[in-house]
């Protein structure tokens, strides 16, 4: 694999960086403090093609690959991991429709999603089914040409806007993974409601709510693919989603490292700048090395997913575990290098630490990433 970026990829990355610096970074702290979901800014990002990065061009997508997406989400996350992460989740939902939906479904829904006129939420996790997602209990009973959906989803990013789309994994058959189907539930459907916006450690610039279904009637035509393959669709979406979240971790961590480098050139102790102490120089070097290793691993996994390699799922799990752990550790070290100032919101590092912590949990916990890798090693 050639790790030199093409001119086109450099241009895409630089465009994302410029947008992040101009449109997101100046407002990120305020959005975090006020728990503001910046929908107009999301739509501006979509106007640059970020609402459907790897979605077909015939429905308004950019038609790019997973490595392109990794570059974009890392760049956006240098300004705000929270905003970048929501855009990545939206892309994951749109891809599931693009990859598994019918021609009519694609052309009906995706133009609204690639423009981010409507936003999408991924509805898999439930109060009693997190890591064991195949144990989900939300049920969709067939009633003529409709499904009647009853149940609850938990920790749903972006939920609450009545005009959006909810890509829901619901049980249409037997227990276990084979009884799950994927159904698109439009916002405003009778019986669809939302819990309060959760109070969280980080990710405050996007809402997180429970999504409730109380005999919610949805046309059978809203099902993506045949009955019983919903879990497969959900897991396929997560392969790419894990790469995106890994990229967001790298972007946030890179921003934290850059802040630490700048701070250590200004701050003095014992008559010298902090960056004159060899022990602290070595700490910065290790942080940079770990980030570069994680970035290289991420690109390797993205290339495998683009190539539909048989080991893509395993590599995506590996890259997600490695990059999100590394990203958090680097950001946490950057906070430590700031000393007491790192704990203050003014310097922006504590926000990055708070935002990146959840990346080790969502899109499959890092413990589950180890399960995926281990199963490939021991054959269980």
- Give the domains, in start order, of the chain with CATH numbers: 7-114 (1.10.540.10), 120-228 (2.40.110.10), 231-378 (1.20.140.10)
The vertex-116 CA angle with 110 and 119, nearest 5°, equals 85
Q: Are 145 and 219 in contact (CB under 8 A)?
A: yes
Q: What pLDDT is stored for residue 4 in this prediction?
A: 85
Identify the three-state secondary structure at position 169: strand
Q: What pLDDT is stored for residue 1 in this prediction?
A: 64
**What does DSSP say about strands 223-224 and 208-219: parallel, antiparallel, or unpaired?**
unpaired
Q: What pLDDT is stored for residue 162 in this prediction?
A: 74
Rounded (10°) CA dihedral 285, 286, 292, 294: -170
Q: What are the DSSP E strand ranges found in the chain?
A: 120-123, 139-143, 146-157, 165-171, 180-186, 192-194, 208-219, 223-224, 268-269, 272-273
Q: What pLDDT is stored for residue 380 in this prediction?
A: 66
Nearest to 368 by CA among 84, 20, 129, 88: 129
Identify the three-state secondary structure at position 139: strand
User: Is 363 annotated in the active site?
Assistant: yes
In which residue are the tokens 């819990």 written?
A: 195
CA 163 and chain centroid, separation: 21
d(CA 41, CA 25): 11
Q: What pLDDT is stored for residue 376 in this prediction?
A: 87
Choosing from 74, 126, 227, 363, the catalytic residue is: 363
Of all residues in the chain, what percent are helix, strand and coil, respectively (each to 5)? 60, 15, 25
Q: Which residues of the chain have pLDDT under 50?
A: none
d(CA 284, CA 278): 10
């Amino acid at each position: 694999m050639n790790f030199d970026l093409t001119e086109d990829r450099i241009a895409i990355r630089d465009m994302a960086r410029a947008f992040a610096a101009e449109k997101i970074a100046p407002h990120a702290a305020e959005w975090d403090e006020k728990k503001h979901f910046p929908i107009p800014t999301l739509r501006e990002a979509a106007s640059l093609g970020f609402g459907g990065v790897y979605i077909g061009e015939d429905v308004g997508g950019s038609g790019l690959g997973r490595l392109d997406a990794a570059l974009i989400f890392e760049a956006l996350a240098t300004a705000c991991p929270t905003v970048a992460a929501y855009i990545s989740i939206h892309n994951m939902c749109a891809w599931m429709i693009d990859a598994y939906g019918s021609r009519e479904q694609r052309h009906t829904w995706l133009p609204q999603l690639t423009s981010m006129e409507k936003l999408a939420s991924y509805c898999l996790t439930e109060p009693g089914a997190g890591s064991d997602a195949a144990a989900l209990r939300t049920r969709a009973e067939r009633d003529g040409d409709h499904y009647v959906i009853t149940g609850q989803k938990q920790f749903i990013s972006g939920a609450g806007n009545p005009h959006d789309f909810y890509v829901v994994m619901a049980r249409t058959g037997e227990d276990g993974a084979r009884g799950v189907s994927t159904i698109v539930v439009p916002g405003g459907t009778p019986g669809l409601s939302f819990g309060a916006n959760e109070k969280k450690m980080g990710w405050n610039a996007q809402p997180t709510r429970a999504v409730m279904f109380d005999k919610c009637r949805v046309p059978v035509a809203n099902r993506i693919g045949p009955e019983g393959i919903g879990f497969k669709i959900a897991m396929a979406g997560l392969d790419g989603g894990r790469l995106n979240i890994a990229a967001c971790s790298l972007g946030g961590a890179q921003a934290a490292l850059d802040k630490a480098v700048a701070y250590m050139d200004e701050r003095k102790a014992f008559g010298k700048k902090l960056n004159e102490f060899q022990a602290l120089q070595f700490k910065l070097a290790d942080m940079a090395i770990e980030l570069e290793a994680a970035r290289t691993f991420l690109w390797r996994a993205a290339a495998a997913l683009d190539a539909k390699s048989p080991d893509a799922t395993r590599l995506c799990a590996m890259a997600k575990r490695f990059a999100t752990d590394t990203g958090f550790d680097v950001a946490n070290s950057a906070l430590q290098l700031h000393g007491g100032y790192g704990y203050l919101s003014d310097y922006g590092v504590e926000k990055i630490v708070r935002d990146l912590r959840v990346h080790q949990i969502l899109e499959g916990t890092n413990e589950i990433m180890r399960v995926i890798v281990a199963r490939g090693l021991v054959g269980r």
